[in-house]
Amino acid sequence: MKFTGDRYPGFALRASAVLLLAAFVPLSLCYSQNLSVKFEKFTLPNGLTVIMHEDHSVPIVSVNVWYHVGSCREKPGRTGFAHLFEHIMFEGSQNVPPGEFDKWLEAAGGDNNGSTTTDRTNYWENVPSNALELCLFLESDRMGFLLPTMSEARVNQQRDVVKNEKRQSFDNQLYGQAEIIIPENLFPPDHPYHWNTIGSMEDLTAATHDDVADFFKKYYVPSNASLAIAGDIDPVKTKEMVTRWFSDVPAQNPVMPLGQPPVYMTAQKRLVNEDNVELPRLYLAWATPAEFAPGDAELDVLSNVLAGGKNSRLYKRLVYDMQIAQDVEAFEQSGGLASQFYVIATARPGHTLTELESVIWEEINKVKADGPTKREVDRAVNGFESGFLDRLEAIGGFGGKADQLNQYYTLTGSPDFFNQDLARYKSLAPDGVQSICQKYLREDGCVILSVVPKGKTDLAAQSKKEGK
């Protein structure tokens, strides 16, 4: 569901699924072992924060850079720009001729990718440990010296690639329009989450070379970035190399926080989208508290109670017992300014979304009335615990340790926030989940989107008044 705007498809698509897990799978602290990830952190005079973590299990190093800018910083008429900019970052810099970024890395045995969300843009290289310095050269050159050689032609070329990314990931994708329609209705037009990170074709067309320069100067500044290096490293030598390569990246004005207050819906919006699909699909969506804000962890657990596994309430009713749905899922998509909670179910042939919707509300209302059971909460938290352990294995790539250190640092200021994150879940009790469900999963404050086959609007979810 969550679009992360990877630079490159294929293997990367699998990788972005990992990122999804890292973002959504919360964790519990039922484990006796100390699960913290040891790191060393320092800040360069230009404001760049550097995080190092040693892991010699395989002879690779992952270099991972987060810029604290995403589509939430885009100007009106320039939606999709943060992601287009991410693509442009691979097109060469003052001392890296066009095309050489990828070629030099591949010749050294390296992989790389980047992705953009509403809140941040990340870049990584996984290389054999002898090639660490190459990554530092490439990352520092584009952090400090992207613009002198940036041409209009290179912007145009990546604009076409990004438009094809939109065609592939949304327009030619089953139900692909839903994730564009929902945020537009969940958040008001002046809210930075109103538009999807992929943006609109018109705005992508409108982006200019000047936009690239402005965006770079404003947001791609060392104090708005953090560099995490994990793997087979010698910390002393690594610190020296990082200091050398990034010392000439000029300091710039700091980026101020957006200061966006939370916005919750105060009405029910019912929408229908006709698309090239075989089966109708229902989306219920709510605006919910931001990542790490009170309520965010409860909503992670609630999503599991509702649709995590065969014994979850919605799966058991809709798919297993009644067999009127092909699938159902629920998740809290956490974001820095606000989160979005989704319930998504696909109707079997012969069934309408109205039938599905009434069962979904019945089950949500049961949680509001009685709360989840203790076993349901424990089962969810145990699953999160294992997911956490799995997350400690991979060094690089999306969702690897370097990426997670940067994620925690960006969101909380503390790279090794693993234990505190776990503690959020460990402390939860069924009645806490219940009261959060009452507070946020409101019938009078949500978006209800029906995606139906073209010409079959009768399959859409009807409101109770219109219904039979």
Q: Of 134 and 263, which has the nearer Cβ to other proteins?
A: 134
Side chain identity, residue 236: V
CA dihedral 221, 226, 228, 233 (to 10 degrees): 60
# residues contacting other proteins (CB under 8 A): 92
Per CB under 8 A, does 149 bind other proteins? no
Asked whether 43 and 427 are in contact (CB, 8 A), the reply is: no
Smallest gap from residue 275 Cβ to other proteins (A): 9
Q: Of 260 and 419, which has the nearer Cβ to other proteins?
A: 419
Asked whether 64 and 227 are in contact (CB, 8 A), the reply is: yes
Per CB under 8 A, does 362 bind other proteins? no
Of residues 205-234, those binding other proteins (CB under 8 A): 232
Q: Of 10 and 261, which has the nearer Cβ to other proteins?
A: 10
Tell me, residue by residue from 164 to 193, as one string, x for binding to other proteins by CB under 8 A and - for no binding: xx-xxx-xx-x-------------------
Per CB under 8 A, does 456 bind other proteins? no
- In terms of Cα–Cα distance, which of 175, 374, 156, 340 is closest to 273? 175
63: CB partners within 8 A, 6+ apart: 124, 125, 127, 132, 135, 136, 139, 227, 228, 229, 402
Q: Of 186 and 381, which has the nearer Cβ to other proteins?
A: 381
Of residues 81-100, those binding other proteins (CB under 8 A): 94-95, 99-100
Per CB under 8 A, does 468 bind other proteins? no
Per CB under 8 A, does 103 bind other proteins? yes
Smallest gap from residue 256 Cβ to other proteins (A): 29
Per CB under 8 A, does 9 bind other proteins? yes
Per CB under 8 A, does 34 bind other proteins? no
Distance of CA 440 to the CA centre of its chain: 21
List the one residue from 263, 378, 419, 438 that touches other proteins (CB under 8 A).
Answer: 378
Q: Segment contacting other proteins (CB under 8 A): 54-62, 74-82, 184-192, 408-416?
A: 54-62
Tell me, residue by residue from 387 to 416, as one string, x for binding to other proteins by CB under 8 A and - for no binding: x-xx-xxxxx---x----------------
List the one residue from 236, 320, 362, 370 that touches other proteins (CB under 8 A).
Answer: 320
Per CB under 8 A, does 253 bind other proteins? no
Task: Return the half-sphere exposure (C-beta side, CA atoms, 13 A cut-off) of residue 236.
Answer: 0
What are the backbone angles phi and psi of residue 446, rounded to the nearest 5°? Answer: -155, 165
List the one residue from 17, 38, 75, 106 that touches other proteins (CB under 8 A).
Answer: 106
Of residues 125-144, those binding other proteins (CB under 8 A): 126-131, 133-134, 137, 140-141
Q: Of 174 and 271, which has the nearer Cβ to other proteins?
A: 174
Task: Return the half-sphere exposure (C-beta side, CA atoms, 13 A cut-off) of residue 466.
Answer: 7
Whole-number Å distance between alpha carbons of 348 and 175: 15
Smallest gap from residue 381 Cβ to other proteins (A): 8
The length of the chain is 468
For residue 167, count other CB atoms closer than 10 A to its CB: 13
List the one residue from 152, 160, 431, 466 that touches other proteins (CB under 8 A).
Answer: 160
Smallest gap from residue 426 Cβ to other proteins (A): 14
Of residues 232-251, those binding other proteins (CB under 8 A): 232, 240, 243-245, 247-248
Per CB under 8 A, does 21 bind other proteins? no
Asked whether 445 and 264 are in contact (CB, 8 A), the reply is: yes
Smallest gap from residue 153 Cβ to other proteins (A): 11
Tell me, residue by residue from 289 to 308, as one string, x for binding to other proteins by CB under 8 A and - for no binding: -------------------x
Smallest gap from residue 342 Cβ to other proteins (A): 20
Per CB under 8 A, does 153 bind other proteins? no
Whole-number Å distance between alpha carbons of 439 and 369: 12
Of residues 331-350, those binding other proteins (CB under 8 A): 348-350
List the one residue from 147, 206, 255, 322 that touches other proteins (CB under 8 A).
Answer: 322
